Amino acid sequence: MEKFYITTAITYTSSKPHIGNLYEMILCDAIARHKRLHGYDVLFQTGTDEHGEKIEQKASNASMSPQQYVDNIALVIKDLCDLMNISYDKFVRTTNKNHEEVVSKIFKKLYDQGDIYLGEYKGLYCVPCESFFTETQLVDGKCPDCGGEVKETCEEAYFFKLSNYSERLVKYFEENPNFVVPLSRKNEMFNNFIKPGLQDLCVSRTSFKWGVPVSFDDKHVIYVWIDALANYITNIGYNVDSVTPEFEKYWPADLQVVGKDIIRFHIIYWPIILMALGLPLPKKIYGHPWLLFQNDKMSKSKGNIMYPDDLVKLFGVDAVRYYCLSEIGFANDGNITYELIIDKYNSDLANTLGNLVNRTISMANKYFDGPVSYKEILDEYSKDLINKVNSLDSLVSKKMDELYVSEALDEIFNVLRRSNKYIDETTPWILAKDEAQREKLEGVIYNLLESIRVCALELSSFIPETSEKILKQLNTNNRESKFTEGVYEGMVGEPLFVRIDKEEKLKEIGA
Ligand code: MSP
């Protein structure tokens, strides 16, 4: 069985994550489920990033120890993953003892081999971003990333000589043109950071304690990004001077998915750390676009944050998964508002999918008090429908392999739309009035049931609960992802997505 190791970025435990953060888990979950469906031995890892000055401060403001604080939020994050049906195999926490030990050993190894040296840092420091800036990099005197205050800092610090590896990195990019997608993100990083020459990276801090201490100099804690990036290998058994069979089997990762804001860390620092450790690089890194609220960044200060659990209470898990997966494209940001969720819910889930399933099962039970079997019909509508059903699996796989996830979903909805049209074209209610058309009627209903079954199977990667419900309503164990000639019997129809009254719902939400 071919292996497939996929990772998400690990979420900060500074506060409860919003729907934008969970999007990444939902996206990776769809990819992981799709790979499993196609016979891969998948290892899917997500988790939490729990060290750093910001977390230390938040814990202190909440009169808690940092450990208590991160234990609480890590649990919230894990619960949200479970709520959203994220089928992760491993959940890593950077406060795991094993992770901390290996991070400490990694730092020591890099120091011993001369990649890390002790120096001094003078600069302007942003606490939430844990980053240093020069005067000219500031925007209106504030942090260029988050817009917050920066403070003047001068401290002894360890530095990583990134420049030792820049040539190798550039060569790797050239030899592996698909290493980073979308290409535009790689080019942007290349032009802004690599081409002008890589600066040495400051990799330790003395201004706070909540981190992995430098083993040979305990005034210092290890820079949170080295600690965080290492999660991808520590949690599958990398231990510097030894590795487990799990690590041997799954590393390098096949796909590492991260948001566009942290692509720099993943395509410059991370590959260089791996090179310095003598490890192979991941096969692909995908920097996905963002989910915006009314085309604006979600933030506490703007009061425009949407939380996954609130959305699930309003619309259900699969409606939220479907919204995120269909709205956010391969390279372009998506937008979220309550109105947009309701519109998509009504048009796609209630109309196109829900109605089709409900109408078809009702007709099957109304016209046939017993089994519905395959009957060959040779009209162009039927041939077209069957062709579309038969090519669906390969179309979906092609889009998923290219990471065009919203388009993969669209392929399935195209077949569902085609099936709805097939009902209008074949008019079963007219066929039902004519005893001579009984065979044809049975063939039409069978074709519809079979189309729904294959679509439901394909949907299992995206909206797994709904997929299961549909297959149960169809009363079938057939898991063949193409049109088959068989029999349906004992179907029970129940509404899947009840149409939402937009005005009522918006009133209920108070939006
Ligand atoms: N802890 C770091 C990642 C370390 S990985 C070694 C971090 N955490 S985060 O909690 O801020 O973000 C987690 C992920 O959510 C990141 O990939 C980030 O890009 C993503 N997103 C944050 N806001 C988002 C949206 N509004 N939309 C989509 N993804 C978003 O960064």
- Residue 15's nearest CA partner among 292, 298, 285 is 298
- Ligand 1: residue of 24, 131, 293, 302 to mutate (most ligand atoms within 8 A of CB) is 24
Task: Give the separation between CA 204 and CA 207, rounded to whole angstroms.
Answer: 10
Domains, the chain: 337-488 (1.10.730.10)
Closest ligand 1 atom to the C-alpha of 17? 10
- Ligand 1: residue of 6, 84, 262 to mutate (most ligand atoms within 8 A of CB) is 262
Residue with the smallest CA separation from ligand 1 atom 16 is 259
Amino acid at site 294: Q
pLDDT of residue 511: 63
- Ligand 1: residue of 21, 28, 292 to mutate (most ligand atoms within 8 A of CB) is 21
User: 9 in ligand 1 pocket by Cβ < 6 Å?
Assistant: yes
What's the pLDDT tens digit per position in 55-98? Answer: 999 999 999 999 999 999 999 999 999 999 999 999 999 999 99
Closest ligand 1 atom to the C-alpha of 21? 15
User: 262 in ligand 1 pocket by Cβ < 6 Å?
Assistant: yes
Residue in this structure with the two tokens 């937008």, named with its chain if needed = 335
Can you give the pTM of this predicted structure?
A: 0.95
Ligand 1 centre to CA of 336 (Å) is 17
What's the pLDDT tens digit per position in 89-110? Answer: 999 999 999 999 999 999 999 9
Ligand 1 centre to CA of 22 (Å) is 9
For the chain, the distance separating the N- and C-terminal CA atoms, rounded to the nearest angstrom, is: 49
User: 24 in ligand 1 pocket by Cβ < 6 Å?
Assistant: yes
User: Which string of DSSP letters, residue by residue, matches 402-415?
Assistant: TT-HHHHHHHHHHH
Residue with the smallest CA separation from ligand 1 atom 25 is 20
Task: Give the separation between CA 123 and CA 201, rounded to whole angstroms.
Answer: 13
Residue 382 tokens, joined = 């039927």
User: Which string of DSSP letters, residue by residue, matches 3-53?
Assistant: EEEEEEPPEESSS---HHHHHHHHHHHHHHHHHHHTT-EEEEEEEEE--SH
Task: Give the separation between CA 403 and CA 420, rounded to whole angstroms.
Answer: 28
Burial of 292 (0-12, 13-18, 19+ CB in 10 A): middle
Q: How far, in Å, are 91, 172, 251, 387 from residue 5 at the CA level?
A: 13, 21, 7, 33
Task: Give the separation between CA 288 and CA 332, rounded to whole angstroms.
Answer: 8
User: 49 in ligand 1 pocket by Cβ < 6 Å?
Assistant: yes
Q: Check: CB of residue 319 under 8 Å from CB of residue 349.
A: yes
Rg (CA), the chain: 26
Torsion of Cα atoms, 132 then 137 then 139 then 143, to 10°? -10
User: 306 in ligand 1 pocket by Cβ < 6 Å?
Assistant: no
User: 55 in ligand 1 pocket by Cβ < 6 Å?
Assistant: no
Helix (H) or strand (E) holding 59: helix 53-61
User: 10 in ligand 1 pocket by Cβ < 6 Å?
Assistant: yes
User: 21 in ligand 1 pocket by Cβ < 6 Å?
Assistant: yes
Amino acid at site 205: R
User: 259 in ligand 1 pocket by Cβ < 6 Å?
Assistant: yes
**Which residues of the chain fall below pLDDT 50?**
none
Task: Give the separation between CA 138 and CA 430, rounded to whole angstroms.
Answer: 71
Residue in this structure with the two tokens 């297959």, named with its chain if needed = 471
pLDDT of residue 193: 85
Task: Give the separation between CA 102 and CA 241, rounded to whole angstroms.
Answer: 10
User: 320 in ligand 1 pocket by Cβ < 6 Å?
Assistant: no
